[in-house]
Structure 1
Amino acid sequence: MKIALVITDYGSFNNFLGDLAIQLLRDGHEISVITSEVRVINIQDKFNYLEQGIKFFYVDFPRGFNPLSHYKSSKKIKKILDDIVPDLVHIHFTTGIFTTLFSGRLKYKTLGTFHGLGFPVLSGVKKQIFAFVERFCFNRLDKIYVLNEVDYKAVTLLGYDNVEKYETLGLGCDLSVFNPSNFSDIQKADRKKLLQIDPADFVFAYTGRFVSFKGFDKVIRSFLELYKSNDKVKLLLIGGNDVIHPTGLNEQELQQMGDCKGIIHIGFTIDVAHYLAITDAFVFPSSKEGMPVCVIEALAMGVPVITADSRGCNEIIEDNYNGYVVNVDENAWKDVKESMAVISSNPGLIERFRGNIEKDRLLYDRNRYVMSERKRYNELVS
């Protein structure tokens, strides 16, 4: 079977779909990937994809709303697909789906996975824009896939009966990589020493792009305030800036972040698990997620999570069970700070959360997603 995977950038393919593509290839399918050469998630390749036999075709996916740019990219994608002649096309992300289908439906069976819809969670003009764009996409897909219950109900209420919610926790993560047993006490002590973290320090971590809708600004404000009264805390920032979206911090806050000795900048890295191994609590108060992989990775490493009472996040984290769920309003950073203060001063609480997380560990496995996709593709084509 010929399967074409379409995703907006190479970095996202490598991070989210690389495992699936390799498994499908090993199953005997012919896999083509249409993507851009951009690496929004700039980490080392998980596999030697070309050597394995995956074919890549590169197209620019416009991030703005220039109809001509979308049209040109859409026509180029259709030309590539006509050369491939796939049995199945699976497109990921709203931007990827919108661009691919801009010039019309495909003549191949087409699936679209929305990793987080806009219209159910936005308001005002943005809600109207996303509602138009996303309904435009729905109308040109054979099957609509969403990651969470909020999106599923929203699409169903619009009258679409071809929508399905993944039974898995989103795309999950690789439990062989995100496994606390991989890291000895000596290895963790050495890494802390390298980062100049004292053994007695309590370590928080944030993973992802430094953008306001992922709660980055709330994390920084909360930590800076906490650090004033407790300099035995550290914050690992694993990720980096996004040129399109703002951080949500003003110039003074950015300066304070740069000057704070408690904040350690890691950058984008494939070694996320190594840093989560020395993390005591993960902080990710995002207001706009589908099903956050970074939260699943933290849980897989046995790390309790402080997150927002928002779509996707509150389907993974149960308040006072495997972490804390806080408000999502503009003053939420105060609740985040309070939760950080409580969890960093209560070792017994951490142990209870870790015990609950361990009970649910198998739910985080990316293999569950890979297996469900393999089954889905075979059923759809047959």
Structure 2
Amino acid sequence: MSRIAIVGNNGSLVLNFRGDMIQAFLRAGHDVLVCAPGLEGTEVERTLRDWGVDTQDIFLRRQGVNPFSDLRTLTALYRTFRAWGAEAVFSYNAKPVIYGSVAGRLAGARPYAMMTGLGYAFTVSTWRARLVRAMMVALYRVAYESCEAVIFQNPDDRALMRDYGALPASTDTAIVRGSGVDTDHFRPVPLPDRPVFLCAARLLAEKGIREYAEAARRVKGHHPEARFLLAGGIDDVVPNSVTRNELEGWEQKGTIEYLGYLDDVRAGLAEASIYVLPSYREGTPRSVLEALSMRRPVLTTDVAGCRETVEPGENGWLVPPRTVDDLAEAMNWMIEHPERWGEMGRASRQLALKRFDVEVINKSIMEVMDLSPSSMAVGA
């Protein structure tokens, strides 16, 4: 039995993204502490405590690099790990990986990091992004040097971190394809008999939201019966996010039906016949895995993280990122071939069961962390 501290950047999303993993740790007899901002007094905290999990609300700014606030985060995590007696630390998201890993090593624990994607700094080329990227590379190198192993969700991200010099040759790595999907929770439901597209993501430029909206406008001109749903929260913190004015404009023109943020995305997926994610880069997109599990054909981009979720022509199509023409063409193809939706959806479900089931993913994570009897070899 080990005492495992888990560090994330958003308390409200802990159960959505790490609930199954936490349950797997608990079933294996481990003690668990969850550290994240925005936990205190929430339903998420109450649920975790009902499970027997300890919680700690932490100060953490998701964006920007401020030496004073980041030192405060590092110090708080170090003290928390020492006081609680953490033996292993599992961190995910950018800042938790950086400060959770370093604090864990300083506190005498075994740090493990999961890279769930590389984010804004690695997907755009503005001067600001390049500056942030240079700082992040330096910080990641310090964090990775502290880790027992770094878990990547796709080989492209691992290769990129090596190319930038952020990943030391001495650091063990493993590939675990995403956070997994609960295939029992995301059960198949019947497909609608009309073309309804859904994109569910944070409303950021790098998720391809603007390309989705423009492709929808073009396609709707030829196929007015098609519907285009968009779900997700507005993120005012991240640069180049979709604005409320843009959303209102798309809605007023009848291009997009905005569903807001969905606590349970199953309702949106049940209404959709095709799932779309035109992202610029991902770790392994959770929303696509949920769509696969619910037997939906998928249109996504041929980029790191996304390309592993689609076998072209079998369960959907891959299109180049940042392009509207190819996305609109793929949408038109789906509308014009409704007889293929069923077989593509069945192929999606089989892919979810074979490659992305949460039980398989959690077993792999525990093996990397040497928390299960049969330890998996991790190598560069």
Shift of residue 298 of structure 1?
Answer: 0.7
Residues 348-357 or 232-241, more deviating = 348-357
Aligned residue runs from structure 1 range 129-168, under 5 A: 129-156=135-162, 158=165, 159-167=168-176
Partners in 1 of 2:38 and 2:43 — Cα distance? Answer: 14
Secondary structure of the residue aligned to 1:164 is strand
Task: Tell me what 1:377 maps to.
Answer: 369
Q: What's the CA shift string for 1:235-286, capped at 9, x where partnerless?
A: 2222121111256558875443121445322222232123212211111010
Aligned residue runs from structure 1 range 195-274, under 5 A: 201-246=194-239, 253-261=246-254, 263-274=256-267
Contact 1:202 1:280 in 2 (8 A): yes
Partners in 2 of 1:266 and 1:237 — Cα distance? Answer: 6
Contact 1:173 1:293 in 2 (8 A): yes
- Length, aligned pairs only: 361
Between the two proteins, what is the percent identity of the paired residues?
23
Shift of residue 202 of structure 1?
Answer: 1.2
Contact 1:310 1:328 in 2 (8 A): yes
Q: What's the CA shift string for 1:16-69, capped at 9, x where partnerless?
A: 111111222232211111111179xxx975992211211110112122211100
Contact 1:14 1:46 in 2 (8 A): no
Matched, 1:10 2:15: no
Task: Tell me what 1:52 maps to.
Answer: 51
Contact 1:285 1:306 in 2 (8 A): yes
Contact 1:44 1:270 in 2 (8 A): no
Contact 1:307 1:324 in 2 (8 A): yes
Task: Tell me what 1:294 maps to.
Answer: 287
Q: What's the CA shift string for 1:216-236, capped at 9, x where partnerless?
A: 111111112222232211122
**Runs (5+) with no aligned partner, structure 1:** 189-198
Change (3 A) 1:292 1:361: closer
Contact 1:146 1:164 in 2 (8 A): yes
Task: Tell me what 2:378 maps to.
Answer: none
Matching residue's letter, 2:180: G
Matched, 1:367 2:359: yes
Matching residue's letter, 2:14: F
Contact 2:101 2:113 in 1 (8 A): no
Aligned residue runs from structure 1 range 56-205, under 5 A: 56-62=55-61, 63-100=63-100, 105-106=105-106, 107-117=108-118, 123=125, 124-156=130-162, 158=165, 159-167=168-176, 169-180=177-188, 183=189, 201-205=194-198
Matching residue's letter, 1:287: Y
Matching residue's letter, 1:175: T
Contact 1:319 1:325 in 2 (8 A): yes
**What is the TM-score when the length of structure 2 is the normalising length?**
0.85
Shift of residue 338 of structure 1?
Answer: 1.5
Residues 200-209 or 354-363, more deviating = 354-363
Contact 1:61 1:99 in 2 (8 A): no
Q: Paired residue for 2:347, among 347, 350, 356?
A: 356
Task: Tell me what 1:192 maps to.
Answer: none
Task: Tell me what 1:191 maps to.
Answer: none
Task: Tell me what 1:194 maps to.
Answer: none
Task: Tell me what 1:21 maps to.
Answer: 22
Secondary structure of the residue aligned to 2:86 is coil
Change (3 A) 1:160 1:13: farther
Task: Tell me what 1:338 maps to.
Answer: 329
Change (3 A) 1:236 1:71: same
Secondary structure of the residue aligned to 2:21 is helix
Shift of residue 380 of structure 1?
Answer: 8.5
Change (3 A) 1:252 1:58: closer
Matching residue's letter, 1:131: V
Contact 2:174 2:368 in 1 (8 A): no
Matching residue's letter, 1:8: N
**What is the TM-score when the length of structure 1 is the normalising length?**
0.85
Partners in 2 of 1:154 and 1:105 — Cα distance? Answer: 25
Q: What's the CA shift string for 1:264-318, capped at 9, x where partnerless?
A: 2222223212321221111101012111111111111111111111110012223
Secondary structure of the residue aligned to 1:97 is helix
Contact 2:14 2:44 in 1 (8 A): no
Matching residue's letter, 2:171: N
**Runs (5+) with no aligned partner, structure 2:** 376-380
